[in-house]
Structure 1
């Protein structure tokens, strides 16, 4: 028998399976979910996503599910709306738009190569444990300038994120707080915010003039608002891209033939010194398709929400004030009505579909789209062109853990220099390969 909480147990047990099962089976444009007394709908028809995301804030806006994130990121552009949101977003977008982000290609490549040189000597490693700090360093380079954060500060930020991520995810749909967990969560949150604030304040003081934080300072934000905005960008930029990047290692290791083809593509987008040329990256279709397919199967934001601010109609459904709308890229990206063989990784499939929404759509889409795509594509090209990857597990598919983002399971990987880059003396013969492996060794 249905009651206001009849779906809650299934959701809490396995939210990914819940979204996918309910979404794939539904014949409605929006599927009513019973997760509490207030109405909640899962958006099933992908053509509704853009109208929902483009709706006027007076009709559909960020609601209580998003506002729970204020526990950590305060009144940042992730949680606010209206003119102030637009003002901050414009400043962030101006610094992180695709054209501007491409100016970081050389720095991102150099960072990756230094890390690969270390991993080559180290042996096997966990993909996510490597990818998350890499993504953090990239976003901090954009935020503060190159080299502002050292290893100690980076480690502090990562520990702070780990301290609160599971607690925050647990609380997103918990309607009745758990008394046993309440004080532990408050302690963890307080400790994590204090750790992050110390690092952020230190980095702000040392930021370079061309950095994003300097652009935000020009808006005249209060110290607290600036700190919240920077924390949001660090958390969103490092955690989402870092989780997606772990799957790059996995799929390159599991398809050597595809990796070989990407390596051949990489040879056509570098200059004489072996450096990737930003102007040629948009035409590197295979590595771009690989990147898009990673984000289709493993969208870091596996759900996001909006709320009806007043009674309104979407898709033929009248939504009363307070109704929440859940959009799940995990479901939309795996629904066989929109994708042939949706569980199969296919770097050459078309992603031109309204059901492809890893970053959202419209004016409220993720402001870091350009930078995230650039980071992942550069990672794909740098790895495939220089290394052969092997993963220790023989599983055909791995399931991520739903937290604030999708956390990959342990993926143990080993790098080896590509055989076709070696000469008889077992040294790398290609100048570009030598540069990639030896630049910082």
Structure 2
């Protein structure tokens, strides 16, 4: 009986410091370090970060192998343990059979026909937000980073919880923002005290989490006692049953999914919208074309019908190109359960594979002049259609593709079209904006524009 021998060679090791490896380089300038790796290595590079062996894959076909073709060999990396403290064991942080069951239960709530019922809520909340902005003094600049945080919070609360949250959002939003801030801080800190220790940040985190839990568990209890079914996302999750067992979600599972949906649907969309406005104010030709489409397709209606937004083809291209340049989920890490072979290279069991959408989206082999903002890359029949599917993955890929990707794309199109239809935008001079890679890829500072 013949034995198949897999020929392997060492993955090129990127030089680093004794004992520290590449840790300091990533702490000081993660995106610059990643660009250097892309320029100096062809397919894969071995890094030492935080005392762990990590293997950065640089080609779309290898990203597909890790995220899709051999996805069952990979689980969440140790980095996700930080998020699990704050988010619980929801779809973003869970693994294995538990994750697969949760995905089966949650998926129906995000089907296109279900999302269509939520689109009217997005439009109504966006229109109310536009009306409020109309009252702003046009001589005073607007912090669009905060403005989009506000409106995406309103949208996700109404679509997730419905009208039950009226007048109760401020405390929940503040607590979740606190948890997000502390998660970012803990993720970046080289020294992590155990969560059980009574450090100031741990105590602050526990108070914020208790506030979130009190609100969400109270809402779940209230909904379970009510007889009528609701069309918001919480109502859909409450009524979901596993096809194999007939069981629904426990209160703990519902809480974790609600917090995950709220955090992902709130912050990532707001950050992406801020980046989009930043790009548009620096590319007036694109902004003019976008504005013309919004007037042509939407007309003058305050709240256009949901089906009208399907005609916003160029708006979608602008959103897609913005997500190419600044993908919120800028890097993904996966821990290998068993040795995995990619070409002549091996990722050993227990080590981590890194997939970096930020790099894949800026690879000049696939995206000529990759730093240029050009929404026509995504025109029907355009350059994007001829690329490997994993050359562009702002929402991840494989079975763990973001469950809310269609929700986010629709929300961004609605917000963007209504916003540029109403206002003439101009950047505040002398802002030095660059990406700051935290858990999501945020701008280094708030983005300010004038609205007329």
- Note whether the superposition's TM-score is higher than 0.5: yes
User: 2:403 maps to which residue?
Assistant: 367
Conserved? CA contact 1:393–1:411, under 8 Å: no
Structure 2 unmatched runs, 5+: 1-14, 224-228, 242-247, 379-383
User: 1:106 maps to which residue?
Assistant: 120
Question: Shift of the alpha carbon at 1:411?
Answer: 1.2
Alignment of 1:130-279 (within 5 A): 130-145=147-162, 147-151=163-167, 153-172=168-187, 174=189, 176-177=191-192, 183-205=199-221, 209-218=230-239, 219=241, 220-270=248-298, 273=301, 275-279=303-307
Conserved? CA contact 2:20–2:49, under 8 Å: yes
Question: Shift of the alpha carbon at 1:35?
Answer: 0.8
Pick one of 66, 85, 93 that aligns with 2:80: 66
Comparing 214-223 with 351-360, greater Cα deviation is found at: 214-223
Question: Shift of the alpha carbon at 1:159?
Answer: 1.9
C-alpha distance in structure 1 between counterparts of 2:61 and 2:70, whole Å:
17
C-alpha distance in structure 2 between counterparts of 1:399 and 1:237, whole Å:
23
Question: Shift of the alpha carbon at 1:275?
Answer: 4.3
Pick one of 38, 41, 66 that aligns with 1:26: 41
User: Deviation per CA, 1:159-189, whole angstroms, max 9, x where unpaired?
Assistant: 223323343224336554369x981221122
Go from structure 1 to structure 2 and tell me whether the alpha carbon gap of 1:289 and 1:4 turns closer, same or farther (over 3 Å shift): farther
C-alpha distance in structure 2 between counterparts of 1:198 and 1:20, whole Å:
44
User: 1:336 maps to which residue?
Assistant: 364
Go from structure 1 to structure 2 and tell me whether the alpha carbon gap of 1:160 and 1:14 turns closer, same or farther (over 3 Å shift): farther
User: Deviation per CA, 1:137-157, whole angstroms, max 9, x where unpaired?
Assistant: 222222122x33235x33223
Conserved? CA contact 2:127–2:303, under 8 Å: no
User: 2:355 maps to which residue?
Assistant: 327
Match of 1:171, SS state, is helix
Structure 1 unmatched runs, 5+: 417-441
User: 1:317 maps to which residue?
Assistant: 345
Pick one of 127, 131, 135 that aligns with 1:117: 131
User: 2:244 maps to which residue?
Assistant: none
Go from structure 1 to structure 2 and tell me whether the alpha carbon gap of 1:138 and 1:96 turns closer, same or farther (over 3 Å shift): farther
C-alpha distance in structure 1 between counterparts of 2:62 and 2:94, whole Å:
23
User: 2:8 maps to which residue?
Assistant: none
User: 2:7 maps to which residue?
Assistant: none
Pick one of 15, 20, 34 that aligns with 1:5: 20
Comparing 162-171 with 385-394, greater Cα deviation is found at: 162-171
Match of 2:413, SS state, is helix
Question: Shift of the alpha carbon at 1:311?
Answer: 1.5
C-alpha distance in structure 2 between counterparts of 1:30 and 1:214, whole Å:
45
Match of 1:301, SS state, is coil
User: Deviation per CA, 1:369-427, whole angstroms, max 9, x where unpaired?
Assistant: 001000111112112222211221345x62132222122222112222xxxxxxxxxxx
Comparing 49-58 with 373-382, greater Cα deviation is found at: 49-58
Q: Does 1:346 align with 2:382?
A: no
C-alpha distance in structure 2 between counterparts of 1:414 and 1:173, whole Å:
34
C-alpha distance in structure 1 between counterparts of 2:124 and 2:256, whole Å:
30
Q: Does 1:382 align with 2:418?
A: yes
Conserved? CA contact 2:65–2:71, under 8 Å: no
Conserved? CA contact 2:357–2:394, under 8 Å: yes
Go from structure 1 to structure 2 and tell me whether the alpha carbon gap of 1:90 and 1:270 turns closer, same or farther (over 3 Å shift): farther
Conserved? CA contact 1:57–1:82, under 8 Å: no
